[in-house]
């Protein structure tokens, strides 16, 4: 995927809520009792937002006497954010982290600021750190994935260009930077090994090749699977990162499940996380590996829970289910199909509720009819069929955007 296109699709400016919705920094670090009244006045003045310049000066004066109170640094960071001074905000949040390395508020905004500045590797690392700290935000994992995708895609695209132009040492540096982000990716080690061989670095290439083999423990027992891992294109690697094995399982599944379809949609179209969301009650996804993705696709209306509020994440997806989801997604991203290419399935009446959705996906080439001209809405969908359909939609979208 073109990196510039990815940035246009995925990068968003740092959006701030109303001040009343900002979390009080004392939720993370308590204020010493003797300073509590002063801080409470500072916080009230911040919420009022009537004279930020005066508040900033008073906070600076406070720091001249007490530098080791991280909530005050965060409050200054908030002020900088609302002034749209990201550089100043980054400095304030950094000071807060120096005092309290586990200050989740400061770390979160450092990650957001890094992403806004295009430092995707840094933002991905901080998001991952927050997850390891047990921070529970509904979109945190999705943000980590998005930052990871952009970071790896940027480096791998740069490496491929450098290699194509025979700037081999530069390409090697890009691959090594990518491996710092995704050290356990066998395909990356293999690509680096091939590049090292081109530079006659025989011993280093052997080390990378051995590392790649060690990261694929089932190579001898399942050579076909190992080969599929080896030839994975860099776009798949950038999209799935350390979850590439999960992608293989989904792609090779005999029947794709509802949770797997939700996972595919969010991984291929991460911009759906920016769509308007209406939270819905779902009762049975607590243990699902795609719980956050399910919440997203349901909240934006791409998939529906059952009337009893269950999602049934492990249930197989039917062709009718897939047609409905892809049609909704197509319309959401501005693709309505070609009305002149109407295809009439033999087994679906125009009065059927799925008819317009099936027409759209057939006309767009996302799905096809069987040999007898039937669509078979109740038939199950294999992993490869689901991946292929989603990839076709992404390719169509990319063509339209160019």
Distances (CA, A) of 99 to 56, 77, 89, 91, 288: 20, 14, 16, 13, 37
Cα first-last separation, the chain: 11
List, for the chain, all residue ranges whose pLDDT scores fall below the cut of 70.
1-14, 138, 216-235, 237-238, 241-242, 337-342, 402
Query: All domains of the chain, ordered by start, with CATH?
Result: 3-118 (1.25.40.10), 146-251 (1.25.40.10), 263-401 (no CATH)
Work out the mean pLDDT of the chain and round it to a whole number.
85
Q: Please list, in sequence order, all residues whose beta carbon lies within 8 angstroms of the beta carbon of residue 213, skipping any fewer than 6 positions away.
A: 186, 219
Residue 231's pLDDT is: 38
Residue 234's pLDDT is: 62
Both tokens of 275, joined, read: 């769509």
Residue 10's pLDDT is: 41
**What is d(CA 148, CA 152) in angstroms, rounded to the nearest whole number?**
6
pLDDT tens digit sequence for 163-201: 888 999 999 999 898 888 778 777 788 889 989 998 999
Distances (CA, A) of 347 to 107, 239, 367: 55, 37, 15
For 4-14, b where at least 16 C-beta lie within 10 A, e where not — what string?
eebeebbeeee
Residue 16's pLDDT is: 85
DSSP 245-275: HHHHHHHT-SS-BHHHHHHHHHHH-GGGGGS
């Amino acid at each position: 995927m073109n990196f510039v296109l990815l940035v246009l699709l995925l990068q968003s400016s740092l959006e701030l809520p109303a001040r009343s919705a900002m979390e009080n920094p004392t939720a993370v670090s308590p204020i010493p009792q003797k300073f509590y009244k002063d801080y409470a006045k500072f916080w009230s003045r911040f919420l009022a937002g009537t004279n930020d310049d005066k508040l900033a000066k008073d906070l600076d004066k406070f720091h001249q006497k007490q530098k080791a109170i991280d909530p005050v640094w965060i409050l200054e960071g908030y002020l900088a954010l609302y002034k749209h001074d990201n550089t100043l905000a980054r400095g304030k949040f950094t000071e807060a982290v120096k005092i309290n390395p586990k200050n989740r508020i400061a770390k979160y905004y450092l990650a957001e600021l890094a992403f806004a500045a295009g430092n995707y590797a840094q933002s991905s690392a901080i998001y991952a750190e927050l997850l390891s700290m047990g921070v529970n935000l509904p979109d945190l994992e999705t943000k980590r994935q998005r930052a990871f995708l952009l970071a790896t895609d940027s480096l791998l695209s740069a490496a491929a260009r450098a290699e194509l132009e025979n700037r081999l040492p530069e390409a090697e540096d890009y691959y090594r930077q990518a491996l710092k982000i995704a050290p356990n990716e066998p395909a990356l080690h293999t690509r680096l090994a091939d590049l090292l061989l081109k530079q006659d670095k025989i011993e280093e290439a052997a080390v990378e090749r051995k590392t790649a083999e060690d990261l694929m423990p089932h190579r001898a027992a399942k050579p076909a699977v190992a080969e599929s891992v080896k030839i994975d294109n860099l776009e798949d690697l950038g999209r799935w990162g350390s979850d590439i094995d999960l992608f293989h399982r989904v792609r090779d599944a005999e029947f794709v499940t509802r949770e797997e379809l939700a996972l595919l949609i969010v991984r291929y179209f991460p911009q759906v996380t920016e769509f308007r969301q209406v939270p819905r009650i779902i009762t049975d996804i607590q243990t699902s590996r795609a719980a956050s993705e399910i919440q997203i696709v349901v909240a934006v209306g791409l998939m529906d829970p059952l009337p009893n509020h269950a999602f049934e994440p492990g249930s197989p997806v039917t062709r009718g289910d897939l047609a409905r989801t892809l049609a909704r997604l197509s319309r959401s991203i501005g693709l309505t199909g070609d009305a002149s290419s109407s295809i009439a399935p033999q087994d679906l009446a125009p009065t059927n509720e799925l008819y317009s959705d099936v027409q759209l996906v057939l006309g767009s080439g996302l799905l096809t009819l069987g040999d007898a001209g039937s669509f078979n809405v109740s038939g199950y969908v294999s992993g490869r069929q689901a991946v292929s359909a989603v990839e076709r939609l992404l390719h169509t979208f990319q063509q339209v955007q160019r």
